[in-house]
A and B are shown apart, each in its own frame.
Chain A
Amino acid sequence: MPMNENNEFKPLIVAFCCNWCSYAGADLAGSSRLTYPENVKIIRVPCSGRVNPMFILRAFERGADGVIICGCHPGDCHYSTGNYYARRRMALLFSMLEYMGIENGRTRVEWCSAAEGAKFSKTMNEFCEKIASLGENVRLGDLRCKN
């Protein structure tokens, strides 16, 4: 289990960010010198609608402790409607994960625009805290990826 210098659990977070809003939001957070934990690994996708449920499961398999999907606010999608489809898919997937006994809160969807650097930073900080409190992902990890 990865630990920080104070011997506290340091979760691995995967963030799928859409190219047009949330990734730009992360950029703005950076250029505004707002911080978020370095254990958030961002994967840029063209649109939140590109996120296949399999991406999320694969992230957990490969050792992620939490997965967050960030996209444009509903109504603001660069492709008009991609995030509306993503919203339905993720609602069903999260409900299924809960149904299978995976802890609530390991997955999250947050809408974050290119102008919301502060929101991006705040969201990531909060999400990291939440995952740190949940602890290591045991139920959805693959043993072979542990060593």
Chain B
Amino acid sequence: MYTISKDNLNSLYAKIASSYDLFMPIKKAGQTNYGFWNEDAEADIETLKTVKSGKDAFFPQVETLYNVNKTIIPADVAASDDAEKAADTPIKTKLEVVPGKFVDQDFVIFGMKPCDVRGIEVMDNVFLKDFVDNYYKSRREHGIVVSLACHAPEESCFCTVFGIDPADPSKSVADVATWIVDDKLVWKPLTEKGEALTAVVKDLLTDDSAVDSKVDAEITSITEISKKLPYANLSLEDWGAGKTDEKFNDETWSKIYQGCLGCGTCTFVCPTCQCYDIKDYTTKNGIQRYRCWDSCMYSDFTLMAGGQNRPTQLQRFRQRFMHKLVYYPTNNDGMYMCVGCGRCVEKCPQSKNVVKVIKAFENKK
């Protein structure tokens, strides 16, 4: 394992940024979110949870799929002296389709927490399994994930319930695992991609085998903390694959949805929500076809010519949690579409969240 002093992190960022685009938690106007690092940016790896998860790295909130540009070909007036005839000649237009760009350069996502890294696995099942989404795939192929252990988990965290280890990123699909131990960042490459990144920053790292025991101590400490967290013993026993009929028709939904505003906060801060909408925007000379995140909590989600398939907020509320806890596990060998990051627990304006939903059904028994 390698180490680098925390005071020296800015030069590490600069070194990475000289070869790659560096996507990492940046503090801006009082909030920490993922963004591209530059010399003026205020890097912030101390904040445990960015407001939005890091899923933007692979599935940005908005991306252009293609542009259609229209050019008008002037009518060939010179060929005819007959002005009247020229006026009758239909205006010819040329349409040109310019495909959106795939990511073709490696980039680095720094400081992703183990829960967010599991979020990538959840999205992989959607975007890479049956139908392969090339936009997502290109980002996945070129993204190098540097995961950071959670030094001090908070009360809203419940990733351990989903079998995620907040203490040890080397168990995740990340390329490099890191820990903060004392005043050092410990760096451990896990994959080939991770080795390549390590080679780039090698000059700044110190090979330090003595740190191993300290990392073990840090892992033990984090594990102990996460056992003490209030949600550590949340039971998922009643959820998962095959529970559709039983849960869908349950009366409980009609109580617990009340007060839901139908905003998209939970969806947009979630590391696993991956529904999107595709729209056209009329530009100066054509259209831009883009996709952007959508939320099943919105009243116009999957709106069709024939109307809405979920006209009430109760149905929309049920959909979101059934998708996470029942439908997705049914289709993906029991894997949940929730990673226990706790962002919805912290951010829901009305204090509704996935934990309260799970507990509401538990209390019923």
A, B in one complex: yes
The yes or no answer to B281 lying at the interface (CB within 8 A) is yes
Is B281's CB under 8 angstroms from A144's CB?
yes
The docked-state distance in angstroms from the alpha carbon of A145 to that of B281 is 9
CB distance from B285 to the nearest CB of A (A): 7
CB distance from B287 to the nearest CB of A (A): 10
CB distance from B68 to the nearest CB of A (A): 13
What bracket does the count of chain A residues touching chain B fall in? Answer: under 10
Of all chain B residues, which has the CB nearest A63?
Answer: B284
The yes or no answer to B31 lying at the interface (CB within 8 A) is no
The yes or no answer to B288 lying at the interface (CB within 8 A) is yes
The yes or no answer to B283 lying at the interface (CB within 8 A) is yes
User: Quick one: CB contact mask for B263-297 with A, threshold 8 Å, 1 for yes?
Assistant: 00000000000000000010111001000000000
| CB-defined contacts of A146 to chain B, threshold 8 Å | 284
Is A147's CB under 8 angstroms from B285's CB?
yes
| CB-defined contacts of B283 to chain A, threshold 8 Å | 144-145, 147
The docked-state distance in angstroms from the alpha carbon of A63 to that of B281 is 15
The docked-state distance in angstroms from the alpha carbon of A73 to that of B103 is 58
CB distance from B289 to the nearest CB of A (A): 12
The docked-state distance in angstroms from the alpha carbon of A63 to that of B283 is 10
Within 8 A of B (CB), among A102-147: 144-147
Within 8 A of B (CB), among A59-109: 63
| CB-defined contacts of B288 to chain A, threshold 8 Å | 144
| CB-defined contacts of A145 to chain B, threshold 8 Å | 283-284
CB distance from B148 to the nearest CB of A (A): 34
Of all chain B residues, which has the CB nearest A146?
Answer: B284
The docked-state distance in angstroms from the alpha carbon of A43 to that of B309 is 39
| CB-defined contacts of B284 to chain A, threshold 8 Å | 63, 145-147
The docked-state distance in angstroms from the alpha carbon of A147 to that of B285 is 7
Within 8 A of A (CB), among B239-281: 281
Of all chain A residues, which has the CB nearest B283?
Answer: A144
CB distance from A136 to the nearest CB of B (A): 14
| CB-defined contacts of B285 to chain A, threshold 8 Å | 147
The docked-state distance in angstroms from the alpha carbon of A63 to that of B288 is 16
Of all chain A residues, which has the CB nearest B285?
Answer: A147
| CB-defined contacts of A63 to chain B, threshold 8 Å | 284
CB distance from A34 to the nearest CB of B (A): 30
Of all chain B residues, which has the CB nearest A147?
Answer: B284
Of all chain A residues, which has the CB nearest B281?
Answer: A144
The docked-state distance in angstroms from the alpha carbon of A63 to that of B284 is 9
Give the A-binding residues of B (Cβ under 8 A): 281, 283-285, 288
10 contacts between A and B (CB under 8 A): A63-B284, A144-B281, A144-B283, A144-B288, A145-B283, A145-B284, A146-B284, A147-B283, A147-B284, A147-B285
Q: Kindly list the 3 A-B residue pairs having the minimum CB-CB distance in the complex, ordered from nearest.
A: A144-B283, A145-B284, A144-B288
